[in-house]
Amino acid sequence: MKQIQYSMKPQDVVVLLKIIALNSESWQQIPLSESLKMSQSEVSQSVARSKYAGLLDGRGKKVMRLAFMDFLQYGLTYVFPQKPGPVVRGMPTAHSAAPLNATIVSNESYVWPWAKGKVRGQSIVPLYSSAPMAAIQDEKFYVLLALTDALRVGRAREKELAVKELKERILHGE
């Protein structure tokens, strides 16, 4: 008998962050996939992987927030690491985006590459290629993605601030 290997993929983090941003257990896969600009089958597979990993409840509707926060805080940088790339025009992320840009003053900006972007900075490959375009349409989602990128590329101080901000938003629903 063949066993299925369930391994988390970067888009699983994106899907879970979007579900948290929606703040509702009545979300549906097709509207979610459209808002994330990914196929419905990718969302369906992501939900299955997240249920298997214990990051979604048995129905696949509710994010297990404490487990997900633990994964972000302690595992994300090892599972989906990212190093800043060449300077490009793009959309701010990590400490260059809200809310961390209000606290952290830096000469270096981090951006998701985007031709219409107004900021120049070191490029950061997003967790999923369409995530930045989805973030333009959902500010709560954008904040969660940018904070998650701060965990992937930040130094100790940025990571500490990002964890604090993510805990407020993920565990306390703010």
Q: Return the pLDDT at 3.
A: 72
pLDDT over 70 (residue 1): no
What is the four-CA torsion angle of 30, 36, 40, 44, rounded to 10 degrees? -100
Residue type at position 55: L
CA torsion sign for 53, 139, 22, 48 is negative
Residues 103-161 have pLDDT tens digits of 998 889 999 999 889 999 999 999 999 999 999 999 999 999 999 999 999 999 999 99
Does residue 36 carry a pLDDT above 90? yes
Q: Using a cut of 0.85, tell me whether the model's pTM lies above it.
A: yes
Taking only the tens place, the pLDDT of each residue in 37-90 is 999 999 999 999 999 999 999 999 999 999 999 999 999 999 999 999 999 999
Please list, in sequence order, all residues whose beta carbon lies within 8 angstroms of the beta carbon of residue 151, skipping any fewer than 6 positions away.
72, 73, 76, 77, 159, 162, 163, 166
DSSP letter at 55 equals S
Give the pLDDT of residue 174. Answer: 62
> What integer pLDDT is reported at residue 173 of this predicted model?
75
Residues 155-172 have a mean pLDDT of 96
- Cis, peptide link before residue 99, omega less than 30° from 0: yes
Comparing 144 with 2, which gets the higher pLDDT? 144
